[in-house]
Structures are given as C-alpha cells and as structure tokens.
Amino acid sequence: MLISLIVPCYNEQEALPIFYEESTKVLAGMNCEYEFLFVNDGSKDATLSILKGLAEKDEHVTYLSFSRNFGKEAAMYAGFTNARGDYVAVMDADMQDPPALLPQMFAMLTSGEFDSVATRRVNREGEPPIRSWFARQFYRIINRISDADIVDGARDFRLMKREMVDAIVEMGEYNRFSKGIFGWIGFRTYWLPYENVNRVAGETKWNFWKLLKYAIDGIINFSQAPLAVASWFGMGMTLLSFIAVIFIVVRKLVFGDPVTGWASTACIITFIGGVQLFCMGIMGQYIAKTYMEVKQRPHYIVAESNRAEVTRIK
C-alpha cells in the first residue's frame, strides 16, 4: 500500500518545514508506505531550495518544479499525473489541511465502503464575514445550476483510491476547477467535517477579486445556465417591446397624444444596449474558454525534478 501526498507549494518557505515535520510524524505512525510529491509552482522565495534539502535527506520526498507559476489547479494536475500511490491525497502546505486527519481517512477507505474521503470545514472562523457570505451564495448558485454537486465548505483536501485518480487524470480539460471535477466523476465519497484551521505561516494567495474570478470560472466550467439566461433575457425583452408598441399605437389612435419625451427613448436605448452587451459578455466568457481549450496548450511545464521518470509536460 502506497500513499502519495500531493502538495502544491507557492512561496511556502515558512510553512513547508512545519508541514513536512508534522505529516512525516503522522505518516510514520501509519501502517503503510508513503511518498511526498511536492509541486513547486514557480515560487519566488526559498521554497525550491528547501524542497531540494528535504529530497536529499529523505527518500520519501519527490519534488517537481514548474518553469513558472501555473496556479494551484495545474500543480494538482501535475501531482495527479505523477502520483504512483494506490491512495492519493492533495494537501495544502500551510497546515490548513490537518495531516492528523490522514489515519482516520485512510482507515475509512480501507474498510472498503468508500472510494474517497473528502474534508469540509464546518465553520469559517478567521475569515471576513463578507467573504463567507459570498462563498455561501456561490455554493448555493453552482449547486442549483450545474451537474457537479459541490458541498459547502469543501476543501481540495481528500484521500482517494487509484481508480478515482485515473479518472481525474483522464479529464484533461484546460480550464480546471477541481472541486467540480471531483464531484463530476462521481464515486462514493464520505465527507469528513472539521473545524477551520488558520494558516501556520506565510500568507494566503487569494484576495477577493481572485476568489470572485475563481467562482465565475467554476460556474462557467460546470454550467451552461448563464447562456440560457441570455436567451431568456432576449425573449423577455422582445415580449416587452411588443407590449410597448401596442400601448403606443393605441394611445396615439384613441387619445391622439402627440409623441412626447426623448427621455424615455434614451432610457430604453441605453437599457437595451446594456442588456445586449451583458449577454454578449456571457457568450464571450464561454468563447474565451473554448478558445483556450482548442489551443490545447499544456497545463504545466516541469523545469526540474529529483525523479528521472516524470511527465514533464502535460
């Protein structure tokens, strides 16, 4: 039995040593083989040299170092393609995914009832309330309009069987939204709740705008509902304009009112212009995604690694 731990790292020089110590302790206490698969996602600090140090003194450590920052999704994908384990887990380097949960998760999988054990935070302490509110709305919306069901508070931290990992690697889409992909492929998942843990060191790479963009990407990647919104808008507007035409004609014929007001005309023109641009924007988002998919650029490029046989470009 081999467990692979995929750890995406971007500027994690402070947190990495702590993570390594803690998870090694936990893994050594478990009755199985293990490997670390650290993915250095183009860090600008000492992350890579720390990884090299770890790899030198511990044979359990493998690192892949990207040629630049490709993002956490790409780092996870690189991990999945190169993980050799029968069981594979993705973990953040900042201890927000507690390694102490691993034995419990592993026991649950080996009992055979589930194919993966995923974690979800039951609270969002230490997070700005406005951010939590937006996060809740996001989960509500995406679950309503997409076919990937995503649990509120779900983390990327989960332990999975080989079968699931193979399915994930097979999903080679360029625009990756892992929370959606995990849900989309199915399999039996147990959700393990735990109390939110704050970062041990370093700082988060997310800000509000990045999160908003991530949320919009998630919706566009897993739902066509926004496109339908555009056509509903169009139909509604057409109906409305018919009614308006009848109203104006009748008013003119029956009451003989002269045509008044350029103000209302200006309002209508700008309103319709706005709606049209909005709908075109929605379409544009999908076209942009399609464009990126069609180009079939690689997800990541590995510049160096301490393992000889790795998939360097995929």
Residues in contact with ligand UDP by CB under 6 A are 8-10, 12, 41, 69, 71-72, 75, 92-94, 96, 204-206
Q: Which residue is nearest to ligand UDP (CB)?
A: 8
Strand order in the sheet with 87-90: 189-194, 116-121, 154-161, 87-90, 2-9, 33-40, 61-66, 302-305
- The nearest distance, CB 215 to ligand UDP, in angstroms, is 13
When CB distances are held under 5 to 8 angstroms depending on the partner's kind, the choice from ligand UDP, Mg ion, none that residue 276 binds is none
Phi, psi (deg, nearest 5) at residue 186: 85, -135
Question: 155: closest CA among 223, 89, 70, 248?
Answer: 89
Distance of CA 277 to the CA centre of its chain: 28
The residue among 126 and 261 lying less far from ligand UDP, judged by its C-beta, is: 126
Q: Does 69 bind Mg ion (CB under 5 A)?
A: no
Strands 61-66 and 33-40 turn out to be parallel
- Only one of the segments 29-37, 88-96, 221-229, 292-300 lies at the binding site for Mg ion (rule: CB under 5 A); that segment is 88-96
Output the smallest distance, CB 5 to ligand UDP, in A. 12
Tokens matching residue 128: 């700005």
Residue 158's SS3 state is strand
Least Å distance between CB 77 and ligand UDP?
11
- In terms of CB distance, is 10 or 222 closer to ligand UDP? 10
CB of residue 293 vs ligand UDP: minimum separation in angstroms?
21
Binding mask 92-111 for Mg ion (x = CB under 5 A): x-x-x---------------
Distance CA 237, CA 137 (A): 27
